[in-house]
């Protein structure tokens, strides 16, 4: 699971159904929306249960576009409001019995199911998810879903599950443009207490993969290298580090 705060030892009335870990940095304030502002605003509204007409949202798109960030931000928000919440990274749970994984989730007020594409169409997962979504809706639970594809592209063998997954708004996450990438890198640098000159950010975009996940991982590595060598992030330093990586 992702690193961060553990919720497994909370008081019984707020007990999380799994050993929940959320990244501390996954907050709405640290999410740069770019072309995903509508999706971000909808997820934030659902996380507090105000201004929504449907209690379920599904986000889809390739990895690295912020789906997990938004699901975890919503869980942070709900948990800090004192609500029982659950975040499940299903790609890490696909080999477990689905009924055991999903049991009791209807007791939560907010449930976030990540990586649906890893389990839909696999074994008994379709039936288990179908039953869970019905129970969550009947119980008035708010639901966040994330997958690589839209509901009709997930390959479910159960048509009713496909329709349940599209019960609420479905958002296709948009890839960031170059200016978005620069702003995201700058925002991550600020969170790490790191100075990232714009010229260095532009150098990274010219000489490294324009994949957000890879760029953020690179920035973390550069930060550690700069700390170890007591150096600032300059173009010569970054060029030397890229040659070593």
Q: Is residue 99 located within the same domain as residue 209?
A: no
- The last residue of one of the domains, among 111, 137, 172, is 172
Q: Is residue 115 located within the same domain as residue 193?
A: no
Q: Is residue 86 located within the same domain as residue 106?
A: yes
| Sequence-ordered alpha helix ranges (H) in 84-207 | 98-102, 125-138, 159-165, 178-191, 198-207
Question: In angstroms, how far apart are the furthest CA atoms of the chain?
Answer: 59
pLDDT digits (tens, 9 = 90+) for 39-77: 999 999 999 988 888 999 999 999 889 999 999 999 999
Q: Is residue 82 located within the same domain as residue 161?
A: yes
Q: What is the distance between the alpha carbons of residues 38 and 225, in angstroms, rounded to a whole number? A: 37
Q: What is the CATH number of the domain that holds 56?
A: 3.40.50.300
Separate counts of helices (H) and strands (E) for the chain: 9, 7
Q: Is residue 45 located within the same domain as residue 108?
A: yes
Q: Is residue 120 located within the same domain as residue 202?
A: no
Q: Is residue 192 located within the same domain as residue 78?
A: no
The whole domain housing 213 covers 178-244
Q: What is the CATH number of the domain that holds 185?
A: 1.10.8.60
Is pTM beyond 0.85? Reply is: no
pLDDT digits (tens, 9 = 90+) for 126-180: 999 999 999 999 999 999 999 999 999 999 999 999 999 999 999 999 998 888 8
| Residue 189, CA distances (Å) to 34, 91, 132, 229 in order | 18, 29, 40, 17
């Amino acid at each position: 699971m992702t690193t961060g705060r553990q919720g497994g030892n909370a008081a019984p009335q707020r007990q999380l159904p799994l050993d929940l870990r959320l990244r501390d940095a996954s907050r709405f304030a640290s999410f740069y929306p770019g072309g995903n502002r509508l999706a971000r605003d909808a997820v934030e509204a659902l996380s507090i249960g105000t201004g929504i007409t449907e209690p379920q949202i599904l986000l889809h798109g390739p990895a690295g576009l912020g789906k997990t960030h938004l699901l975890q931000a919503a869980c942070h928000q709900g948990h800090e409001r004192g609500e029982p919440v659950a975040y499940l990274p299903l790609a890490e749970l696909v080999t477990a019995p689905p009924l055991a994984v999903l049991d009791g989730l209807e007791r939560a007020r907010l449930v976030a199911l990540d990586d649906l594409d890893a389990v839909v169409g696999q074994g008994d997962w379709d039936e288990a998810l179908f039953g869970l979504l019905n129970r969550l809706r009947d119980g008035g639970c708010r639901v966040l879903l994330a997958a690589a594809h839209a509901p009709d592209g997930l390959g479910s063998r159960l048509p009713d599950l496909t329709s349940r997954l599209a019960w609420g708004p479905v958002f296709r996450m948009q890839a960031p443009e170059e200016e978005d990438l620069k702003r995201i890198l700058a925002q991550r640098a600020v969170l790490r207490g790191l100075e990232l000159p714009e010229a260095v950010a532009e150098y990274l975009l010219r000489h490294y993969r324009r994949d957000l996940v890879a760029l953020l991982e690179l920035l973390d590595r550069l930060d550690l290298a700069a700390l170890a060598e007591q150096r600032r992030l300059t173009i010569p330093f970054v060029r030397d580090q890229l040659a070593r990586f």
